[in-house]
Amino acid sequence: MNLVAPNNKRRIEVIVVGTGLAGAAAAATLGELGYKVKAFTFHDSPRRAHSIAAQGGINAAKNYQNDGDSVYRLFYDTIKGGDYRSREANVHRLAEVSRNIIDQAVAQGVPFAREYGGLLANRSFGGVQVSRTFYARGQTGQQLLLGAYQSLSRQISKGSVKMYNRHEMLDVVIQDGKARGIIARNLLTGELERHAAHCVVLASGGYGNVFYLSTNAMNSNGTAAWRAVRRGAYMANPCFTQIHPTCIPQSGEYQSKLTLMSESLRNDGRVWVPKKQEDAQAIREGRKTGNDIPEADRDYYLERRYPAFGNLVPRDVASRAAKVACDEGLGVAPTGLAVFLDFESAIMRYGQAEANTKGISNPSEAKIKELGEKVVEEKYGNLFEMYEKITGENPYQTPMKIYPAVHYTMGGLWVDYNLETNIPGLFATGEANFSDHGANRLGASALMQGLADGYFVLPYTIGQFLSQEIRTPMIDPNSPEFEQTEKDVENRLNQLMNIKGNQSVESFHRRLGKIMWEYCGMSRNADGLKKARKMIKELREEFYKDVFIPGDAKDYNPELEKAHRVADFMELGELMVVDALDRQESCGGHFREEYQTEEGEALRDDENYAYVSAWEYTGWDEDPKLHKEELVFENVELKTRSYK
């Protein structure tokens, strides 16, 4: 791996798009190393990046619990959890550097939970049989982002990082085959700006909002990555979407987003539905509650189907099992789309342990419950409070209602081992790339990947490219390539503004989301995917004829921002459908109904589909071109996943 000497770093500029964990960590570390960094966020502050919404924790192979964890175990669990559709080398590196992340965060003052003696505490997440997840109550993402923001702020104050708030990247500039800058729109003034650098790093997150309803923030979008695809970057495995099993169910058509309930709740919560359809119907109609169903009439279906992992099976497995239960008429919400997450057993267990610790003999059931609720509140209090505020139900007294929702995208820009796309000088980190999670991400691994890429991988692998640029002068933003790319962006925005139709951007986005969820969501089939592609094309044609965008392009205009993002979502959504149709197997979060075992589990086809699908976009009227990266497994045995 080539290096760049400190005296040469001062002459090299790097653009970082996005200031979540991956972007803020990368910008801060590159600045600390001596590079001249320009960082961009469409938020009013880097602290508002969606990383802040992560709740449950961050994985690291520290083995503090002495329960058999190791770097190899984390590597193996991640490969297996991704259903053997990720690159071994990248995942092993991730497992190796995971340990450094915790040391870095503790040094920054991140307030991880600690045990009574002061040591860092751990808990379990889905798809593993060890406790390796470090957490800060239910606010882990927020606390980690504040740590990264501290580091970033230090570099901003030193002048090594220049921060551009309220700027959205709308295109990447390619000069002599290399990424040399971006065109950004000042969201407050509407002005287009040219920004040049020796290379560009995209840390812009995932594209889950293509489904409209998701746990993502409303502003989260795929435009930065998709614009890179339109300039020739490959999009890898776009159909690999994570459906999170523990989210507050949709309550009506008026909703514009869904709310995550952390996977950490499945440490102590037990998932169940009534065994009898008449009980489920009574609950849906409000004639009964979960507390009215006796233990003998409850089906703890995850514990029944997957005894080795129980309620802590991976997310794709838990989500499909919930869908199966609801499809059988056992759902417990008025819509029929919810299952119970029950904490009664945990409350009584913790309460009895507390009573023993305090020397209380023969405590009453009420006393045990009181003590147990305090323990649960310490662990999950902010999550329980959030649930009660949204639903009006007290989860200490009645079981939570949960249902799967779109949460994360394992697909993303194709990158090599150095996190460089197929366009030289264009890098992608965190959720914006595809590299580490295969067909399903394990819980608490998103924060791990974002910080691993930002702090410990990209700042060093980027030197391989930049070592060849030390004699390259500062890039001129007035070159013909910048001028033409800016003109392309301006034409796109004017095209949208000039439609002057009758329908809102929001209505088109909602319709796109329904198509994606219905035909490319938790389960897919060939007929549905073919229908979805046709529907998306028709919707896109209608969008470009009848969308209404008020205001002016040269001014503050949130509707124009949204319209541009939705236009990109329509193109990306079609590619997701094409990818799902092409991959004729089931693996992880990609579940093709035609390819399943007799027990309803995912049925992979390793002989024909053990590869990364890297798609090259070729235009509206042409099929995208598929490039295959064969996956080679030398350190793990390629076999059928089993959590039973």
The structure tokens 């009645």 sit at 398
Measured over the CA atoms of residue 327, residue 332, residue 336 and residue 339, the dihedral's sign is: negative
In the structure encoding, which two tokens stand for residue 80, read together?
């297996």
Strand ordering across the sheet containing 241-247: 241-247, 400-409, 339-342, 270-274, 298-299
One-letter amino acid at 432 equals A
Say how far apart CA 135 and CA 116 lie, in whole Å.
15
Q: How far apart are CA 229 and CA 619, in angstroms?
A: 11
Q: Which two tokens stand for residue 70?
A: 């190791």
Cβ(215)–Cβ(258) below 8 Å: yes
Q: How far apart are CA 307 and CA 111, in angstroms?
A: 34
**Phi/psi of residue 341, nearest 5 degrees:** -125, 110
Could you give the 3-state DSSP secondary structure of residue 187?
A: coil
Pairing of strands 178-186, 58-59: unpaired
User: Residue 396 and residue 375: Cα distance in Å, rounded?
Assistant: 11
Structure tokens at 431: 């959720």
Give, in degrees to the nearest 5, the angle at Cα 330 between 324 and 335. 95
Structure tokens, 204: 């812009």
Q: For residues 160 and 33, what is the distance between their CA atoms, to the nearest angstrom?
A: 9
Out of 93, 137, 305, 315, the active site residue is 315
Q: How far apart are CA 440 and CA 588, in angstroms?
A: 5
What sign does the CA torsion over 538, 539, 543, 546 have?
positive
**Integer angstrom CA distances of residue 497 from 107, 166, 172:** 49, 21, 22
Helix (H, G, I), strand (E, B) or coil at 412: strand
Task: Give the integer Cα–Cα distance in Å for 578 and 594.
Answer: 16
Backbone angles phi, psi at 83, to 5 degrees: 55, 40
Q: Which helix (H) or strand (E) holds 59?
A: strand 58-59
Give the pairing type, strands 13-17 and 199-202: parallel
The alpha helices in 429-557, defined as continuous H runs, are 446-451, 458-466, 480-497, 505-520, 526-546
φ/ψ of 157, rounded to 5, equals -65, -30
Q: Dihedral angle at the C-alpha atoms of 246, 216, 316, 384, nearest 10 degrees?
A: -10
Residue 27 is encoded by which pair of tokens?
A: 């910008």
Structure letter (DSSP) for residue 592 = B
CB 321 within 8 A of CB 305: yes
Residue 315 appears among annotated catalytic residues: yes
Cβ neighbours of residue 206 closer than 8 Å, sequence gap 6 or more:
216, 220, 222, 408, 409, 412, 431, 432
Instruction: Write out the two tokens for 63.
Output: 């083995």
User: CA Rg, the chain, in Å?
Assistant: 24
Active site residues: 315
